[in-house]
């Protein structure tokens, strides 16, 4: 009954629009043609630390980080040109000098007019921070893998040992770059294994895969300089939950004695 | 000056050609400044600010006579690129410097080589020609300021274009000369570092280990006098080793004066690759950051970042470049790690002492403080350029 009443309330009982806007947890802005602020809702104070009154007639670019000013200018020009809603990420400088990452959505109030412009501003600092942490973890991990003085790999279980992934250590080990090993069809790890070792390598791996055990191999691998290198490989199968072999992964290290 | 001769020879035939072209116009040949001399003066300059000023004085006589205009230069490869250079006897009108800075250098005009406009709120008009310098990121302008009306572009350029070309060539020559000098210094430093590394550091490293072992063994004997001497020996060996390492590290670090901001972001990029920490660069000063010696400043910043990666156990580091109200720049390097504890401060006191010494060398102030929210905060305050 209460729900019905709510919907059936006559229009005059609806809350005032300004109250609705002030209750939002995103900032709502209206800009003049010169991109000065002509309206902000209450959330502005929470986001920037500046009172609403101070914001009125101030230039919005005053709150933007100097390094993002260029993007802001290009962005507003594009909105003016396209007259469509566009979105930009930028850094906003708070009253206490702290930086907040924000996403602004800017559009003309009326599709057929350049101004006034309306915008919503959303604090995306937590997302940006967690994204940075994720990137840093990935960067650190890929750095670790690629600096390793050996080759980490994941590949298919075929006689060519077609590779899906090899770490950058492949250059030191084989003399071929990652791109060459992954994308050149005539080049494969299988083709680099010494003919005397190739069948033993294949059989050892197949045997280990059947028993779902790891394998350990010593063989000779042809380097791009034409010399064979003694290598040690330790790897294992990648299996689906039903036990089917999806591929193999492991590490190959150069164990050629140095003179 | 060894480099000036080939440069001069390189420019010589073209300069003659230029001179010949000028002789066609009688008016120009009568008063034209010796443009070849201008190129040589700038290219071989020991003090580019001074040479530009002298050139401006000469050019003003020429421009004043023929065009009744004042000549200025902006965006020159001097420490403060935004400075408006003017002839000695001319004081630029109020606000002209800021207006030109806004219009020509900060507004970064990429497509126009010539710019003509009337200064808002005054009777002055501007005719500016872009100077092609070595460095594509920075543009220089030669600016003519007319008091009442702005004449047509063609007659102005007939006089100004050869001047602009000569200025551009002179400055290009000077920039090349500077980068050759810098390269020579860097390679000398690198050779020095290699020698130090090969000989000294290895012996010192060996001595450090042996001295430390000796001290440990003497401690276990019943001779306190011996223990004291050996401990002192070990400490001194440690200091000598660290000092040599510092010297090596410093000579390997090559930075071109005026590129501190680039060097900071490069350093951050480098440290990012070596750990799982999040680095943030909050640069609010643009590329305009000047110190007396950028290599000292970058060394302090790198040492601070180094300490964060090695000791702080932090997940987040931030480098903030902020201009303060008095014109000085604050470089703040902070982390959210475990902060400096008394034990570690003692271990690192050598590194911190060196940071302090380097800050003093560039008349900067260095403060190493705990961060209120946890971690460490290092503030390097670089005074405003005089």
Handedness of CA B262, B263, B268, B271 (dihedral sign): positive
In angstroms, the CA A52 to CA A43 distance is 9
Q: Which of B110, B261, B280, B282 to mutate to test the interface with A (most CBs of A within 10 A)?
A: B282
8 Å CB contact of B277 and A65: no
DSSP three-state, residue A175 = coil
Give the pLDDT band (50/70/90) at residue A1.
Answer: very low
Mean pLDDT of A42-65: 93
Could B273 and A139 be called an inter-chain contact, meaning their C-beta atoms sit closer than 8 Å? yes
pLDDT reported for residue B136:
59
pLDDT (0 to 100) of residue B365? 94
Domains of chain A: 21-126 (3.30.450.20), 144-254 (3.30.450.20)
Lowest-pLDDT choice from A155-169, A236-250, B30-44: B30-44
Q: Where are the beta strands (DSSP E) in chain B?
A: 69-74, 84-85, 114-118, 125-131, 140-146, 278-283, 316-323, 329-335, 365-370, 376-382
The verdict on a CB contact (< 8 Å) between B275 and A140 is: yes
pLDDT at A194 over 70: yes
Distance CA A237, CA A215 (A): 9
What is the C-alpha to C-alpha distance for residues B323 and B261, in angstroms, rounded to an integer? 13
Angle at A49 between CA A46 and CA A53, to 5 degrees: 95
| Chain A residues within an 8 Å CB radius of B280 | 132
Q: Which chain A positions have a beta carbon within 8 Å of B277's beta carbon? A: 136
Q: Which residues contact B250 (CB under 8 A, 6 or more apart)?
A: B295, B299
Residue in B163, B155, B162 with CA at minimum distance from that of residue B72: B163
Is A139 within 8 Å of B276 when comparing Cβ atoms? yes
A126 in B contact zone (CB under 8 Å): no
- A67, B274: Cβ pair inside 8 Å? no
B364 touches chain A (CB under 8 A): no
ipTM: 0.73
For residue A99, the chain B residues in CB contact (below 8 A) are 282
Task: Report how far apart the first and last C-alpha atoms of chain B are (Å, whole number).
Answer: 29
Chain A within 8 Å of B280 (Cβ-Cβ)?
A: yes
- A129–B284 CB contact, under 8 Å: no
Contact (Cβ atoms closer than 8 angstroms) between residue B379 and residue B313: no
How confident is the model over A82-105, as a mean pLDDT? 92
Q: Using DSSP bridges, classify how beta strands B316-323 and B278-283 pair: parallel, antiparallel or unpaired.
A: parallel
pLDDT at B175: 86
B273 near A CB under 8 A: yes
Q: What is the pLDDT of residue B8?
A: 54
pLDDT of residue A17: 87
- What pLDDT sits at residue A236? 95
Is the pLDDT at A14 greater than 80? The verdict is no
Q: Which pair of structure tokens corresponds to residue B255? A: 């930075």
- Cα-based distances in Å from B348 to A95, A128, B366: 36, 34, 15
Whole-angstrom distance, CA of residue A168 vs CA of residue A237: 22
Contact at CB, A133 and B315, closer than 8 angstroms: yes
Q: How confident is the model at residue A55 (pLDDT cuts 50, 70, 90)?
A: very high
Is B277's CB within 8 Å of A136's CB? Answer: yes
φ and ψ at B382, to 5 degrees? -100, 120
Q: How confident is the model at residue A51 (pLDDT cuts 50, 70, 90)?
A: very high
| Touching B: A residues 32-71, CB under 8 Å | 65-67
User: Partners of A235 in the beta sheet?
Assistant: A215, A250
In chain B, which stretches have pLDDT less than 50? 1-3, 15-16, 22-30
At residue A3 the predicted structure's pLDDT band, cuts being 50, 70 and 90, is: very low
DSSP-based three-state secondary structure for B14 = helix
| Predicted pLDDT at B252 | 72
Asked if residue A155 lies in contact with residue A249, where contact means CB atoms within 8 angstroms, the answer is: yes
* pLDDT at residue A6, as a whole number: 44
Which of the residues B107, B265, B275, B278 would you substitute to probe the A interface, choosing the one with the greatest number of A C-beta atoms within 10 Å? Answer: B278
* Chain A residues within 8 A of B335 when measuring between CB atoms: none
Residue tagged 């090559």 (tokens) = B254
Residue A92 predicted with pLDDT over 90:
yes
Q: Which helix (H) or strand (E) holds A108?
A: strand A99-108
**B324 interaction partners in chain A (CB closer than 8 Å):** none
Query: CA angle, corner B227, sides to B224 and B232, nearest 5?
Result: 130
Question: Whole-model pTM?
Answer: 0.64
A-chain CB neighbours of B322 within 8 Å are: 97
Write the residue in B273, B282, B285 that is nearest to A143 by C-beta: B273
Residues of B with Cβ-Cβ distance to A132 under 8 angstroms: 278, 280
Within 8 A of B275 by CB-CB distance, chain A residues are 140
Q: Determine the Cα–Cα distance for residues B344 and B190; give it in Å rounded to an integer.
A: 32
Interface contact flag, B276 A132, Cβ < 8 Å: no
Of residues B349 and A193, more confidence is placed in: A193
More confident residue, A236 or B95: A236
Domains of chain B by range and CATH?
4-180 (3.30.450.270), 255-386 (3.30.565.10)
Name the minimum distance, in Å, from the CA of B262 to any CA of chain A: 14
Which residues in chain A have their CB less than 8 angstroms from residue B272's CB? 136, 139
Q: Which residues contact B100 (CB under 8 A, 6 or more apart)?
A: B72, B74, B84, B126, B128, B141, B143
pLDDT tens profile A120-153: 999 999 999 999 999 999 998 888 898 888 999 9
Report d(CA A122, CA A138) in Å as an integer.
27
Tokens standing for A86?
A: 């566009």
Top residue of A131, A136, A143 to mutate, by most chain B CBs within 10 Å, is A136
CA dist., res. A202 & res. A214, Å (int): 14
Q: What is the pLDDT of residue B31?
A: 54
Output the six-digit token pair for B71: 């000549």
Average pLDDT over chain A reads 89
Residue B163 to residue B52: CA distance in whole angstroms: 13
């Amino acid at each position: 009954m209460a729900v019905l009443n709510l919907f059936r309330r006559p229009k005059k009982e609806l809350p005032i629009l300004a109250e609705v806007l002030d209750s939002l947890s995103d900032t709502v802005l209206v800009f003049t043609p010169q991109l000065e602020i002509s309206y902000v809702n209450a959330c502005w104070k929470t986001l920037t630390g500046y009172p609403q009154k101070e914001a009125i007639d101030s230039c919005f670019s005053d709150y933007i980080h100097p390094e993002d000013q260029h993007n802001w200018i290009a962005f507003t020009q594009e909105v003016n040109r396209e007259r469509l809603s566009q979105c930009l990420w930028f850094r906003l400088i708070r009253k206490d000098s702290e930086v907040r990452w924000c996403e602004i959505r800017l559009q003309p109030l009326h599709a057929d007019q350049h101004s006034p412009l309306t915008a919503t501003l959303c604090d995306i600092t937590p997302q940006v921070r967690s994204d940075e942490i994720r990137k840093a973890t990935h960067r650190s991990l890929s750095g670790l893998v690629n600096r390793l003085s050996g080759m980490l790999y994941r590949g298919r279980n075929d006689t060519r040992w077609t590779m899906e992934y090899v770490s950058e250590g492949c250059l030191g080990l084989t003399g071929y770059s990652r791109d060459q090993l992954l994308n050149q069809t005539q080049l494969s790890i299988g083709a680099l294994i010494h003919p005397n070792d190739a069948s033993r390598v294949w059989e050892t791996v197949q045997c280990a895969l059947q028993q779902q055990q790891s394998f350990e191999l010593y063989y000779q691998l042809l380097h791009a300089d034409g010399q064979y290198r003694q290598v040690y490989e330790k790897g294992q199968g990648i299996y689906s939950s039903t036990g089917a072999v999806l591929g193999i992964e492991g590490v190959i290290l150069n164990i050629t004695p140095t003179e | 000056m060894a480099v000036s001769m080939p440069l001069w020879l390189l420019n010589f035939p073209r300069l003659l050609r230029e001179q010949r072209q000028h002789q066609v116009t009688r008016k120009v040949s009568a008063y034209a400044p010796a443009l070849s001399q201008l190129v040589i003066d700038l290219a071989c300059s020991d003090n580019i600010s001074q040479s530009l000023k002298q050139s401006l004085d000469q050019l003003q006589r020429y421009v004043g006579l023929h065009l009744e205009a004042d000549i200025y230069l902006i965006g020159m490869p001097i420490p403060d690129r935004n400075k408006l250079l003017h002839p000695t006897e001319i004081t630029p009108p109020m606000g002209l410097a800021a207006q030109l800075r806004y219009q020509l250098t900060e507004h970064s005009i990429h497509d126009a080589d010539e710019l003509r406009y009337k200064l808002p709120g005054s009777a002055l008009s501007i005719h500016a020609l872009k100077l092609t310098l070595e460095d594509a990121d920075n543009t220089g302008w030669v600016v003519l300021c007319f008091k009442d009306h702005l004449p047509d572009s063609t007659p102005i350029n007939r006089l100004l274009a050869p001047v602009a070309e000569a200025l551009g060539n002179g400055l290009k020559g000077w920039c090349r000369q500077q980068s050759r000098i810098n390269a020579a210094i860097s390679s000398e430093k690198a050779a020095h570092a290699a020698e130090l590394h090969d000989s000294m550091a290895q012996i010192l490293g060996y001595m450090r280990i042996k001295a430390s072992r000796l001290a440990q063994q003497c401690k276990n004997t019943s001779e306190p006098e011996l223990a004291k001497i050996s401990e002192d020996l070990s400490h001194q060996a440690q200091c000598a080793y660290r000092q040599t390492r510092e010297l090596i590290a410093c000579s390997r670090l090559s930075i071109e004066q005026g590129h501190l901001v680039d060097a900071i972001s490069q350093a951050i990029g480098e440290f990012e690759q070596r750990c799982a920490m999040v680095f943030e660069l909050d640069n609010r000063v643009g590329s305009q950051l000047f110190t007396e010696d950028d290599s000292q400043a970058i060394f302090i910043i790198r040492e601070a970042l180094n300490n964060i990666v090695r000791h702080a156990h932090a997940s987040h580091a931030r480098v903030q470049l902020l201009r303060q109200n008095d014109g000085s720049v604050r470089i703040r390097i902070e982390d959210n790690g475990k902060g400096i504890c008394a034990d570690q401060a003692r271990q690192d006191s050598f590194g911190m002492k060196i940071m302090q010494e380097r800050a003093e060398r560039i008349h900067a102030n260095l403060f190493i403080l705990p961060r209120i929210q946890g971690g460490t905060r290092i503030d390097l305050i670089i005074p405003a350029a005089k």
